[in-house]
Chains A and B, each alone.
Chain A
């Protein structure tokens, strides 16, 4: 159905399926040292900026605004990749370079192995019709079309027959819960519903890549959360590569698998929220996370400690003596068995409160605070990763402030 239209030289670089290479993570979109200057741009100005010229000064003296400066990123297939920054940080410009609405002054954007630089207008249009769809902050719905016709727009442009595209658009509307409003005009809908139409318009194309430009920023907080949930549900059903622009760090943390922090056109750092929080590259990154609720970002595995007393003992072997301390017991493969409490003896793991990986520190507070001893943290296979004590918990939360 969808064919990759690359120039011949690059066609060989594409693997046929996203799941082809085993567990190898494949990059869907790659951005290589991309520059974008607005105004009278030139290679010489980029050279000046590269050697440390002040962008503010350049703006004042030459009227050139440096929107994106030397940004390199890899977006992996199937992840929600959030580009986070304040307004004017160049994140929207960056997003528009991914589908060629804006072309970079220097550097290269590659989508599924095809470089956008070498594409003809027709190839670029084909890429936009079949590979990526965009959702806008201002919704950008067509006022002269009803909801269904809006949802079918992308398919219409791609040349699909009326009956087929209406069916597909209707399915997309059903998925976002708007089937009943199909015949209404966009202006008759609330903001949240309008953005559902925007989302349906993108989903109708069933694109492997979704570009979302502050898609939920114009919505009320409650509606915004609903839409975030909807996006996460959609991801759970069918993994797409989502590049999500946001200026809201809470949103970025909530939905993002990885976050790229941008400031004044430059990339500060790119990693998972937890890594950014625990290992900020510089003070600017730290400042972004200043007001973040650390306990809800950090997960328990990030703060586990080895148990103070551990005994390895397979099933059937005699249990060790209790030495007046709490003894954690695993078998030789590290599967957790239980623990020995001083004076009380053996307690099997079924009777002990444990924490599993992925639990936020916030959710762990209750369990840790009501437990007599440090709480064991187990991975998905019930192997013991370590324990968390009340002291550990408090230290971790303090470190973020």
Chain B
């Protein structure tokens, strides 16, 4: 803490209290943090291993097919060209690293955020408690999370993921809550009049009707994860953020832009793909196949 003496602004009583509590956590709950650290590290390593397994061309092809199925032919072409560009810039492994950070962080965010959103929709009390937390999480400058994350988990992928998790979780909680609360009253009434139990009402009426809104939240969470993962390179998150950071540090405009463009390509692909799941489920593939079949026959 000697460093803080040199700082122009010293932490006030609130800041000191937070300092103290972080120190207390460090002293008394080290075991818990170690456990979290090991599990998250294992998770992200496995994710990265899986994503690194296919060669770049196969990965691009799989993504393009997925894009063709969920979005359209133009998007599939974009996927191929975009990944080709990343490969040409020699940023493939950095992109895969970033992608695995994003998927791990947003996966964890959804794992916590979805149930929390459902719970908030079902209980006014929970929502009243959760809402201010979400406000805090969303408006707090993203960099602030990096400091305790580093103190508790040192540097590397784990604190990056945890800081990202906190930053990216609010949209999925909010939009899950909104989606469920917004289900029209007459559908709820119809569900009840046919004898739905509380649980049946949630899973057969409320959640399915809320899916488009919930999926918008999932999309937002993934996008926020990506933006935060880039920032988290400052604490050694690695990946494309590192490239951008090096560009800044070395005042290398070209390198910065290359990293930036790779982030944009990844962002567009993640966005379109995750958004495509927000539509009415089931209508997409079958209708498309039918349309293709009829086109085939007519030509």
Residues of A within 8 A of B (CB): 99, 101, 121, 124-129, 133-134, 136, 138, 140-145, 153-154, 156-158, 185, 201, 205, 211
B280-A185 in contact (CB<8A): yes
B196-A142 in contact (CB<8A): no
Contact with A along B257-281 (1 / 0, CB 8 A): 0000000000000000000000011
A158-B195 in contact (CB<8A): yes
CA distance A288 to B281 in the complex (A): 49
User: Which B residues are in CB contact (< 8 Å) with A158?
Assistant: 195
* Partner pick for A125 among B190, B195, B208, B283, CB 8 A cutoff: B195
B205-A126 in contact (CB<8A): no
User: Which B residues are in CB contact (< 8 Å) with A143?
Assistant: 209, 280
* Partner pick for B280 among A136, A144, A153, CB 8 A cutoff: A144
- Known contacts A128-B193, A134-B190, then 4 further A-B pairs from the complex at CB < 8 Å, ordered by chain A residue: A121-B197, A129-B195, A133-B194, A142-B209
Can you name 25 A-B pairs with beta carbons within 8 Å?
Answer: A99-B193, A121-B197, A124-B195, A125-B195, A125-B196, A125-B197, A126-B195, A128-B193, A133-B193, A133-B194, A134-B190, A140-B184, A140-B187, A142-B190, A142-B205, A142-B208, A143-B209, A143-B280, A144-B208, A144-B211, A144-B281, A154-B194, A157-B196, A157-B204, A201-B194
User: Which B residues are in CB contact (< 8 Å) with A185?
Assistant: 280, 283
Of chain B, the residue at the smallest CB distance from A153 is: B194
User: Which B residues are in CB contact (< 8 Å) with A141?
Assistant: 190
CA distance A138 to B189 in the complex (A): 11
B193-A101 in contact (CB<8A): yes
User: Which A residues are in CB contact (< 8 Å) with B208?
Assistant: 142, 144-145
- The interface size bin for chain B is 20 to 34
User: Which A residues are in CB contact (< 8 Å) with B191?
Assistant: 157
B192-A101 in contact (CB<8A): yes
Known: A156-B204, A157-B200, A185-B280. A142 touches B192 (CB 8 A): no
CA distance A136 to B195 in the complex (A): 15
User: Which B residues are in CB contact (< 8 Å) with A138?
Assistant: 186
Chain B binding surface SS class: helix
Known: A101-B192, A128-B195. A140 touches B204 (CB 8 A): no
CA distance A154 to B194 in the complex (A): 5
What is the minimal beta-carbon distance from A127 to any residue of chain B, in angstroms? 8
User: Which A residues are in CB contact (< 8 Å) with B197?
Assistant: 121, 125
A140-B196 in contact (CB<8A): no
Most buried by B among A126, A133, A144, A158: A144
Known: A156-B204, A157-B200. A140 touches B190 (CB 8 A): yes
Which residues of B in the span 271-297 have a Cβ within 8 Å of any Cβ on A? 280-281, 283
CA distance A126 to B194 in the complex (A): 9
User: Which B residues are in CB contact (< 8 Å) with A136?
Assistant: 186, 189-190
CA distance A138 to B208 in the complex (A): 19
CA distance A313 to B205 in the complex (A): 72
What is the minimal beta-carbon distance from A78 to any residue of chain B, in angstroms? 22
CA distance A101 to B190 in the complex (A): 10
CA distance A321 to B20 in the complex (A): 124
B187-A142 in contact (CB<8A): yes
Most buried by B among A99, A136, A140, A154: A140
CA distance A121 to B187 in the complex (A): 19
What is the minimal beta-carbon distance from A218 to any residue of chain B, in angstroms? 12
User: Which B residues are in CB contact (< 8 Å) with A101?
Assistant: 189, 192-193
Contact with A along B170-190 (1 / 0, CB 8 A): 000000000000001011011
CA distance A133 to B193 in the complex (A): 7
CA distance A124 to B194 in the complex (A): 10
Of chain A, the residue at the smallest CB distance from B283 is: A185
User: Which A residues are in CB contact (< 8 Å) with B211?
Assistant: 144
CA distance A128 to B196 in the complex (A): 9
Of chain B, the residue at the smallest CB distance from A205 is: B194
What is the minimal beta-carbon distance from B132 to any residue of chain A, in angstroms? 30
CA distance A275 to B191 in the complex (A): 38
CA distance A129 to B186 in the complex (A): 18
What is the minimal beta-carbon distance from A18 to any residue of chain B, in angstroms? 22
What is the minimal beta-carbon distance from B290 to any residue of chain A, in angstroms? 11
What is the minimal beta-carbon distance from A181 to any residue of chain B, in angstroms? 15
Of chain B, the residue at the smallest CB distance from A99 is: B193
Of chain B, the residue at the smallest CB distance from A198 is: B190
Sorted nearest first, the 4 A-B pairs with minimum C-beta distance are: A129-B195, A128-B195, A140-B190, A134-B193
User: Which A residues are in CB contact (< 8 Å) with B200?
Assistant: 157
What is the minimal beta-carbon distance from A189 to any residue of chain B, in angstroms? 15
Of chain B, the residue at the smallest CB distance from A130 is: B195
Of chain A, the residue at the smallest CB distance from B212 is: A144
What is the minimal beta-carbon distance from B205 to any residue of chain A, in angstroms? 7
Which residues of B in the span 236-252 have a Cβ within 8 Å of any Cβ on A? none
Of chain A, the residue at the smallest CB distance from B207 is: A144
CA distance A129 to B184 in the complex (A): 22
User: Which B residues are in CB contact (< 8 Å) with A140?
Assistant: 184, 186-187, 189-190
User: Which B residues are in CB contact (< 8 Å) with A126?
Assistant: 195
User: Which B residues are in CB contact (< 8 Å) with A201?
Assistant: 194
CA distance A323 to B55 in the complex (A): 116
* Partner pick for A157 among B184, B187, B194, B209, CB 8 A cutoff: B194
User: Which A residues are in CB contact (< 8 Å) with B192?
Assistant: 101, 128
A157-B195 in contact (CB<8A): yes
Contact with A along B54-93 (1 / 0, CB 8 A): 0000000000000000000000000000000000000000
User: Which A residues are in CB contact (< 8 Å) with B196?
Assistant: 125, 157
A154-B195 in contact (CB<8A): yes
Most buried by A among B189, B197, B280: B189
CA distance A134 to B187 in the complex (A): 12
What is the minimal beta-carbon distance from B164 to any residue of chain A, in angstroms? 31
B194-A128 in contact (CB<8A): yes
